[in-house]
Amino acid sequence: MDKKLEKYLKPNLKEARMRKSDIEYKEFILDEKYKSLGEGKKYRIQTYGCQANEADSEIVAGILEKIGFTLAEDEVDADLILLNTCAIRENAENRIWGELGRLKIYKKDKPNLVLGVFGCMPQEERVVEKILDEYPYVSLVYGTHNFYKLPEYIYRLSEGEKRVIEAYSYEGSIIENLPKKREQTHKAWVHITHGCDEFCTYCIVPYTRGKERSRLKDDIIAEVKHLVERGYKEVTLLGQNVNAYGKDLEGDYTFSDLLLDLDKTGIERIRFTTSHPRDFDDKTIEVFRTSKHVMPYVHLPLQSGSNKVLKKMNRGYTKERYLEVIRKLKDARSDISITTDIIVAFPTETEEDFLETLEIVNEVGFEGAYTFIFSPREGTPAFSYENNITEKEAKNRLKRLNDLVNKGYLEGSKKFQDKTVKVLVDGFSKKKDGVLSGYSEHNKLVNFKGDESLIGKIVNVKITKPMTWFLIGEYVK
Ligand code: SAH
Ligand code: SF4
Ligand code: F3S
């Protein structure tokens, strides 16, 4: 290794695979010497990736504002630009490389601008090495396990260190009491677990996010109660496999117990993502029958409809098990809306396997799906699986799948024709003046005319025109 690089702390995917470290629960403490580091300075954060990243960016913004930074309305004015990155597929990474190329121009006029990269990508040593070699103007690189250390890193840069590059292979802690600058004032993300232990063979997340670890129930309940006191109407509980909540803790308190406790906090709407078909137990399904606040909507990734492919993906369930969960959910709540994730062209997927996926899509009647072509991720088992599906064939499968999925979207929308639905209003729609938008209980995007006073409230809207991607309606006083 190049001697001059030795002070940098690089992660290692092989080490990350091991589940070595013990989890410590700690409080966030801000050292006095960092408290005015950002005074007079402005920041921007660009977030890529899943809800976990969005929630992390809210924490990073909270930390930065705690040390005196203010948000730059325009990126030209920023003294610090951070990219919170995603490593899930190759195109997610390519966007970041492109963006770093674009942001370089600002360094010319503003040599002191700190350009930083954090989140899932720096958990891959390949990425850290590429930044070291090809992006010398990126001066701050840190991962998912240490983003709360940002004040220390900014301090070190202000003291003259040229580059701070620090990403760990292991997690080690759950940090509570982190400052948060939430994007919204009526709905909030709430992490319930961090990391993932599933090791689906295609997926990089167990390496970039580390061992599955649950927050303590009292911390989660206290956070939700605090949100209720501040007028929040909705929480979305976050975890890569929320159904595994509590399995790493002592005692037999599980996800359904948490849902029942949160149901009593006074929060109006509870959502969660993502669910895992293997761990979706009957007690959780039962909550859909009894709870007033758990919304009638589930995102349940299928990935493939072929048992052979599911096995190769290490998903831990069969299509029969998947369909059983769906049947029980519909039994518990007949109007439930279900969406999914599907990967096509996974190594060895044949036309017959793919047809099995289409068959399940038809059978379940998904009201939406995120669909992807398999993207090999270095360091995961599936990276080295032989794959002789051509790009043309993969695209063809994706198109056929999407055509079917889009029909499901429209069918899901049509269910609400002439119905009055409850909408939590997010704000004005970006496209049209005077048009508000928000989400219904079934997680449908609803647009309707109304005034500013409705933002943040749950209002009744009668659906007049269901479209594929959203519903149009009229406000009912
Ligand atoms: N923990 C969640 C979300 C993981 S990432 C879950 O298990 O569903 C979101 C989706 O990205 C996954 O559901 C999967 O469909 C897709 N995905 C993950 N890795 C991928 C890869 N290497 N190539 C293509 N799609 C992938
Ligand atoms: Fe990835 Fe599977 Fe974990 Fe989801 S459950 S994050 S797909 S390893
Ligand atoms: Fe991407 Fe990391 Fe989320 S890889 S999908 S941002 S956990």
- Is there a single domain that holds both residue 225 and residue 277? yes
Alpha carbon distance 336, 271 (integer Å): 13
pLDDT at 9: 86
Reported as a single tens digit per residue, the pLDDT across 181-235 is 999 999 999 999 999 999 999 999 999 999 999 999 999 999 999 999 999 999 9
- Predicted confidence at residue 14, as pLDDT, reads 85
Work out the widest C-alpha separation in the chain, in whole angstroms. Answer: 70
Tally of domains within the chain: 4
Q: Which residue is listed with tokens 């730059």?
A: 72
Residue 277 sits in the same domain as residue 350: no
332 and 374 fall within a common domain: yes
**Burial class (CB within 10 angstroms; exposed 0-12, middle 13-18, buried 19+) of 336:** middle
Q: Which of 415, 445, 465 is the last residue in one of the domains?
A: 415
Give the integer Cα–Cα distance in Å for 186 and 183.
Answer: 9
Of the candidates 422, 427, 425, 428, the one whose C-alpha atom is nearest the C-alpha of residue 460 is 422
Asked whether residue 20 is domain-assigned, the answer is yes
Q: What's the CA gap between 45 and 408, in Å, rounded?
A: 35
Query: Is any atom of ligand 3 closer than 6 Å to the C-beta of 325?
Result: no
Contact between residue 267 and residue 228 where contact means Cβ atoms under 8 Å apart: yes
Q: Which domain holds residue 455?
A: 420-476
Helix, coil or strand: residue 462? strand
Confidence of residue 2 (pLDDT cuts 50, 70, 90): very low
- Asked, for residue 179, whether it belongs to a domain, the answer is no
Q: What is the pLDDT of residue 297?
A: 98
H or E element: which one contains 244? Answer: none
The reply to whether 406 and 428 lie within a common domain is no
Instruction: Indicate whether residue 60 lines ligand 3 (CB < 6 A).
Output: no
| Cβ of 96 below 6 Å from ligand 3 | no
**pTM, rounded to two decimals:** 0.96
Query: Is the predicted pLDDT of residue 5 greater than 50, yes or no?
Result: no
Ligand 2 atom at minimum distance from 240 CA:
6
Closest atom of ligand 3 relative to the 52 alpha carbon: 3
Alpha-carbon radius of gyration of the chain: 23
Q: Which residues contact 299 (CB under 8 A, 6 or more apart)?
A: 273, 274, 275, 338, 339, 340, 341
Find the range with the poorest average confidence among 8-22, 107-121, 320-334.
8-22
Answer whether residue 316 is part of any domain: no
For residues 21 and 104, state if they share a domain: yes
Indicate the range of 145-149, 273-277, 314-318, 389-393 predicted with least confidence: 145-149
Please tell me whether residue 477 adopts helix, strand or coil conformation: coil
Does 180 contact ligand 1 (Cβ within 6 A)? no
Residue nearest to atom 2 of ligand 2 (CA): 200
- The Cα–Cα gap between 223 and 300 comes to 26
Quick one: pLDDT band at residue 432, thresholds 50, 70, 90? low
Task: Tell me: do 8 and 104 sit in the same domain.
Answer: yes
Query: Is residue 85 domain-shared with residue 153, that is, in the same domain?
Result: yes
Ligand nearest to the Cα of 344, by number: 1
CATH assignment of the domain containing 45? 3.40.50.12160
Question: Taking 50 as the threshold, does the pLDDT of residue 59 lie above it?
Answer: yes
Specify whether the CB–CB gap between 411 and 365 falls below 8 A: yes
Question: How far does residue 90's CA lie from ligand 3's centre (Å)?
Answer: 12
Digit-coded pLDDT (tens) for 229-246: 999 999 999 999 999 999
CATH of the domain at 456: 2.40.50.140
User: Which residue's alpha carbon is nearest to atom 4 within ligand 2?
Assistant: 240
In terms of domains, do 125 and 237 share one?
no
Last residue of a domain, one of 385, 415, 445: 415
Gap between the Cα atoms of 152 and 161, Å rounded: 12
**How close is the Cα of 139 to the center of ligand 1, in Å?**
30
Atom of ligand 3 nearest to the CA of 240: 7
Question: What pLDDT, on the 0 to 100 scale, is given for residue 20?
Answer: 75
Q: Residues 404, 430: one domain? A: no
Average pLDDT for 402-422: 98
pLDDT surpasses 80 at 51: yes
Residue type, 182: R
Rounded distance from Cα 121 to ligand 3 centre (Å): 9
**206 Cα nearest atom in ligand 2:** 8
Residue 224 phi/psi, 5° resolution? Answer: -65, -40
C-alpha to C-alpha distance for 176 and 224, rounded to whole angstroms: 14
Give the separation between CA 460 and CA 340, rounded to whole angstroms: 27
Please tell me if the CB atom of residue 201 comes closer than 6 angstroms to any atom of ligand 2: no
Verify whether ligand 3 is closer than 6 Å to residue 52 (CB atom): yes
> Of 136, 166, 196, which marks where a domain is finished?
166
Q: Is the same domain home to 438 and 457?
A: yes
Q: Which amino acid is at 449?
A: K
- Pair (355, 224) in one structural domain: no
* Pocket-testing residue among 193, 194, 196, ligand 2, by greatest number of atoms within 8 A of Cβ: 196
Cα(141)–Cα(118) distance, rounded to whole angstroms?
6
Residue 193 confidence (pLDDT):
97
**CA 98, 99, 102: angle at the middle one, nearest 5?**
90
Residue indicated by tokens 């809800």: 51
For 279-326, how does the pLDDT look when each residue is reduced to its tens digit (9 = 90+)? 999 999 999 999 999 999 999 999 999 999 999 999 999 999 999 999
Q: Evaluate whether 319 touches 306 at the Cβ level (below 8 Å).
A: yes
**Whose CA is closest to atom 3 on ligand 3?**
50
- Look at residue 320 and tell me if it is in a domain: no
Atom of ligand 3 nearest to the CA of 196: 7
Q: Tell me whether residue 216 is in a domain.
A: yes
| Same domain membership, residue 61 and residue 161 | yes
Atom index in ligand 1 nearest the CA of residue 273 equals 2
Q: Is residue 315 part of a domain?
A: no
pLDDT at 45: 98
User: How far is 418 from 416, CA to CA, in rounded Å?
Assistant: 6
Over residues 410-431, the mean pLDDT reads: 95
Pocket test for ligand 2, best of 89, 203, 207 (most atoms within 8 A of CB): 203
**What average pLDDT is seen over the chain?**
95
Mean pLDDT of 96-122: 95
Q: Read off the CATH number of the domain in which 235 is found.
A: 3.30.750.210
pLDDT-based confidence at 170, cuts 50/70/90? confident
DSSP letters for 266-332: T-SEEEEE---TTT--HHHHHHHHH-SSB-SEEE---B-S-HHHHHHTT-S--HHHHHHHHHHHHHH
Buried b (16+ CB within 10 A) or exposed e, 15-50: ebeeeebebeeeeeeeeeebeebbeebbbbbebbbb
pLDDT attached to residue 3: 41
CA of 22 to the centre of ligand 1 (A): 27
**Which ligand 2 atom lies nearest to the CA of residue 303?**
7
Q: What is the average per-residue pLDDT within 30-57? A: 96
User: Is 301 contained in some domain?
Assistant: no
Per this entry, what is the length of the chain?
A: 477
Q: Does 312 fall in a domain?
A: no
- The span from the CA of 260 to the CA of 283, in Å, is 10
User: Residue 431 — pLDDT band, cuts 50, 70, 90?
Assistant: confident
Q: What is the CATH number of the domain that holds 411?
A: 3.30.750.200
Residue 412 in contact with residue 444, Cβ under 8 Å? yes
Confidence of residue 369 (pLDDT cuts 50, 70, 90): very high
